[in-house]
């Protein structure tokens, strides 16, 4: 009986906490078309098969910003034994109003062996046939009109093309 009374007193203490936590929503920020160099295959290392792909340009456009992808970044990949690629891309954008945005984008791309083989050959594969998701950190000057990016959780979905990557970036609200 005493345990029941303790439980009832605990339950009555929670009404103030009964409100639901904010559910995250996604706000589209921009679509990026990132053009790529030919991959440099390092081969199997102690962490897996390493691949470095230079980023040589592209464009991005969204409701609040647009511009170009700057040359000089890279997509650093580690391919696991099952074919899943751990992705780490580092590159910069330049907005039409001259602001530079640094991106570090980390995630994975995975699919069935058949789909991964098609992607490796540069064949077009619908993005619905594989999983390519990333979490991105964007950095801008604190005085920039885009400073809100410094305080936002950003995710992206992607599509791998023969010589480019297409990414849709979203802010988690």
Under the banding of pLDDT at 50, 70 and 90, the label for residue 19 is confident
Give the rounded percent of residues in the chain with a pLDDT score beyond 90: 84
Please give the backbone phi and psi of residue 140, each rounded to the nearest 5 degrees, phi first.
Answer: -140, 165
Structure confidence by residue, pLDDT tens digits, 106-138 = 999 999 999 999 998 889 999 999 999 999 999
pLDDT, residue 122, reads 86
Reported CATH class of domain 23-172: mainly beta
């Amino acid at each position: 009986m005493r345990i029941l009374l303790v439980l009832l007193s605990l339950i009555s203490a929670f009404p103030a906490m009964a409100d639901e936590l904010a559910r995250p929503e996604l706000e589209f920020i921009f679509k990026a078309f990132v053009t790529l160099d030919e991959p440099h295959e390092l081969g199997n290392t102690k962490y897996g098969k390493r691949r470095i792909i230079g980023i040589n340009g592209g464009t991005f456009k969204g409701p609040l910003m647009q511009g170009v992808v700057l040359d000089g970044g890279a997509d650093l990949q580690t391919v696991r034994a099952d074919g899943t690629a751990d992705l780490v891309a580092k590159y910069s954008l330049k907005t039409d109003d001259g602001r530079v945005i640094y991106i570090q984008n980390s995630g994975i791309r995975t699919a069935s062996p058949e789909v991964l083989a098609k992607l490796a050959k540069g064949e077009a594969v619908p993005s619905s046939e594989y999983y390519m998701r990333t979490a991105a950190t964007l950095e801008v000057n604190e005085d920039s009109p885009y400073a809100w990016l410094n305080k936002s959780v950003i995710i992206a979905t992607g599509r791998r093309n023969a010589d480019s990557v297409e990414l849709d970036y979203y802010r988690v609200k």
